[in-house]
Structure 1
Amino acid sequence: MTEQPTRFPRFFITARAPCPYLPGKVERKVFAELRGPDAAHMSESLGRIGFRRSQNVVYRPSCEGCSACVSVRIVARDFRPSASQRRLLRKNADLEVAASDPWATEEQFALLKRYLAARHPDGGMATMDGYDFADMIETSPVDTVVVEYREPGHDGRPGRLVGACLTDKQSDGLSMVYSFFDPDIPHRRGIGTYIILDHVLRAAAVEMPYVYLGYWVKGSPSMDYKRRFSPLEGLGPDGWRLLPAIEDAGPGTTRARVARAG
């Protein structure tokens, strides 16, 4: 009997750069390219040990002297929304939700630009053009969908796009690659939180165990919203462990605003 060779990806290290989450810190990432027939399996396997996908690359922090970035995932099967989360679900229950193949549209790009201008005007994505956006959405070697959230339509026409999320479908759950939404709709405050809640409830409905949220960064106010979902597991040296629950102050507070599942 001959043994089939195991395919291992080649890993690389990025140059040091200013950390986008913690002032005065320097970040560095380890990354690998996803390609070939094993790309989906590789992406999912590496995701379980803390890697995230961006287009056809997976990466994770590899910073010297800092371990503030913690991979987190919501335990969908045990999730019970808090009182404020239940109110948010009721308020947005009229939204029309649809998942489609990852194909970039001008409407999505316009929504992203409004979102970035309001929430991340100095971020690395602020200069993204239409071609960059198309690459972000359409370059995926795994099972990926774009989930759109729209206001109710009229006369057979679709309603206004108010939120979207690029989502990878895995055997053990959903991985929220990147979400964005309209920041200027007063009656839709908390829609970023609603997008996460919707993913969790849909995962639980089909018995998917987890929703992966990317990294929670201790000490970064923009990442505190991820701690508002419980039960939440964090990845540490001993594997995935439940993180202590914290009080849900509601989606209207600064600490609970959703920037992205980065």
Structure 2
Amino acid sequence: MMLVFGQTGQVARELARIRPDAVFLGRDRADLSDPAACAAAIRDHAPTAVINAAAWTAVDAAEAEEEAAMVVNGAAPAAMARACADLGVPFVHISTDYVFDGSGTAPFAPDYPTGPLGAYGRTKLAGEEAVRAAGGTHAILRTSWVFSAHGNNFVKTMLRLGTERDALTIVGDQIGGPTPAAGIAAACVTIAEQLIETPTLSGIRHYSGAPDVSWADFAREIFAQAGITCAVTDIPTSDYPTPAARPLNSRMDCANLSDFGLARPDWRAGLTDVLKDLGAIS
């Protein structure tokens, strides 16, 4: 039996599609602000593998509430990982490109030195370090720019704004790989299943969509596929200030996905699927 932390988030919703037989723990059954309860849930269910698809993802809010975010993104995964190590079951934990400083233009390799720019990245990095320190079979799956038909994300925001306005200004100097939540979910399941058989595959992996683009170009593709006429003008990040600094470079080297027989997904195909789910195209 596979145990999943998360129920309403983008990846958790996609996991429920492909693994309806898994047990999903929402906040009512396992609140990540209570790490001990999360560990107890793992011991009580005695699963064959655990996927943590829950997190504090409010990047800007983390700047003002870092202590609370640290419990959810740092202490809770630590408790989960230790419980999994004690039971001898693999733990798959989703992380983020925000653990890097966003410098340069080269894709970040999994072993590249980390250097988060803000509170969210610091809390996610703390979670990664704790998962590794637990000493059990694990995979840390760093991803970026997640989108789906669920929750709040860039695709849904662009569909709304694109129908409301004739023109938009969108950041054009942040570059990364938009990633379909469906692909992340499928990758998590594949990795968890293979770790059961081959624990030596433990480690950090990167999973992001291809090709790398700017937010502005991502928006243009959304409008093109959805048949929305809305002009997009590129602006620099400096023209769109936010409480938390965003990395300019979110490119990630995903080569070691091949260890699991996986490859970067084409986000444009994933976008088509999401637009169909949303009824934006037929």
Measured against the shorter chain, the TM-score band is: under 0.3
Structure (1 or 2) with the greater helix fraction: 2
Structure (1 or 2) with the greater strand fraction: 1
TM-score, with length taken from structure 1: 0.27
TM-score, with length taken from structure 2: 0.25
